[in-house]
Amino acid sequence: MSATEFYDIVNIGQHCVERFIDSTNTPEIKALDIELAGCSNLSAPYQVGRVNPPNHTLFYSLNGMGKIRTPKGGLTVTPGQLAILPARQSFEVSIESERWDIIWVNLADTAQWHYLYEIDAPLLERLPLEGLHHAMELLYLSKSSEHRHALIPLIKDYLSSVAKPKDQPLPSRLIALFEHVEKQLQLNWNVKLLSERAHYSAPHLHRLCLSHFNRSPMQQVIYLRMARAKNLLLNTQWPIAYIANYVGYSNVFTFSKRFKKSEGVPPSHYREQHTQQG
C-alpha cells in the first residue's frame, strides 16, 4: 500500500474489547448528533481504515499508543492526546503498543460540529478527558433512560470544550459583511452576492457562518431581517406590508409565513401580544 492509498479496513483481533454506544441501545445520543461511540481496550492486531467517511471522528488515548495516517501525514497518539479527523478525510488507525485503551466518537457532519473543519491542529495535547471516559462508560452501562439523559449535557460540555476554541473572534470580513447587510436588508441578498461582498468563496462563507452563528449565510440574513421586523412591529405603527418591504420581502404573504416560522405567530399577532403585555 502506498502512502497516498486508503482503503476501508476492519482488522480487529480476538483480544480487543469494545463497548459500543449507538442510537439503538442509547437513543439519547441523537441529541448530540453522535452516530456511534465507544470505549475500547485494544491489543494487536488492530487496524481500521475509512475512505472519505461522512462523519467526524475523535480518538482519545487513555493508555498506550496508536498511529493515525491521513492524507496530510502520520500522527502518533499517546495518553492525554485527542486526534480530530474531520468528515470526508480518509484515514487509517493502528495500534503501536502492546495495549491501547481509547475512547472514540463519530459525530454527524451537522451544524453543531461544523467548526471541526476549522481546527488547525489535528492533535490536541494534555487534555484531561477521564471524566468524558467515565461518562461514556456510564452511558453504556445504564439501563435507565433518565440516567442516560442526565449524562448527555456533561458529554456535550466535554466535547465542546476540548474542540471548540473559547472566545473565538469573528473574522473582520464576516463582521463587515453582516453590518452592511443590516444597513440594506431591503436588497435581494443571495449567497453569490454575500460571497462577492465578503471576498470569500461560497463554501468558505458557509463554513464560517455555521461555525460562528450556527446558521447558513442566508439563514443569518433571515435572522437579521426578523430581528429588524420585530423591532419595527413593536416600536412603530407602520403597516405590516410596509415593514415587509423594508426588510426585504416584496410579498407580504411570504413575509408573514417566514415570520410565523421564526416566531411561532404571524406578525399581526406578535404586535398585539406585546402591545397587550406592555
Q: Return the amino acid letter for 139.
A: L
User: What DSSP character marks residue 171?
Assistant: P
Q: Which pLDDT band holds residue 155 (cuts at 50, 70, 90)? A: very high
- Say yes or no: 158 and 196 in one domain: no
**For residue 166, pLDDT beyond 80:** no
CB atoms within 10 A of CB 246: 17
pTM > 0.75: yes or no: no
Q: Which three cell numbers stand for residue 142?
A: 445504564
- Say yes or no: 179 and 154 in one domain: no
Mean pLDDT across 67-74: 91
Residues 243-263: tens digit of each pLDDT = 999 999 999 999 999 999 988
Distance CA 188, CA 210 (A): 21
The domain in which residue 240 lies consists of 172-277
pLDDT for residue 190 = 96
Mean pLDDT across 178-203: 93
Contact call for residues 10 and 42 (beta carbons, < 8 A): no
- Say yes or no: 86 and 60 in one domain: yes
Distance CA 193, CA 195 (A): 5
Domain boundary among 136, 163, 190: 163
Which residue would you say has higher pLDDT here, 26 or 123? 26
Q: Which pLDDT band holds residue 117 (cuts at 50, 70, 90)? A: confident
CA 238 to chain centre: 39
Mean pLDDT across 222-241: 94
Please tell me whether residue 206 adopts helix, strand or coil conformation: helix
Q: Which of 86-95, 209-218, 224-233 has the lowest mean pLDDT?
A: 209-218
Mean pLDDT across 196-205: 90
Distance CA 239, CA 144 (A): 54
Domain boundary among 128, 163, 198: 163
Mean pLDDT across 71-92: 91
Q: Return the amino acid letter for 107.
A: L
Report CA dihedral (147, 29, 39, 119) to the nearest 10 degrees. Answer: -130
Structural domains counted in the chain:
2
CATH number at residue 158: 2.60.120.280
Distance CA 177, CA 194 (A): 7
Q: Which of 143-147, 252-256, 274-278 has the lowest mean pLDDT?
A: 274-278
- Say yes or no: 134 and 218 in one domain: no
pLDDT for residue 66 = 95
pLDDT for residue 94 = 96
Locate all alpha helices (DSSP H) within 95-201, ordered by sequence.
Answer: 130-141, 145-163, 172-183, 191-198
- Say yes or no: 127 and 195 in one domain: no
Mean pLDDT across 91-119: 90
CATH number at residue 177: 1.10.10.60
Cis peptide before 45, with omega less than 30 degrees from 0?
A: yes
pLDDT for residue 3 = 46
**For residue 219, pLDDT beyond 60:** yes
Distance CA 58, CA 116 (A): 10
pLDDT for residue 2 = 44
pLDDT for residue 269 = 93
Residue written as grid cell 405567530: 265
Q: Which of 134-138, 203-207, 223-227 has the lowest mean pLDDT?
A: 203-207
Q: Which three cell numbers stand for residue 57?
A: 471522528
pLDDT for residue 157 = 86
Radius of gyration of the chain (CA): 24
Supply angle C-alpha 171, 175, 180, rounded to 5.
150
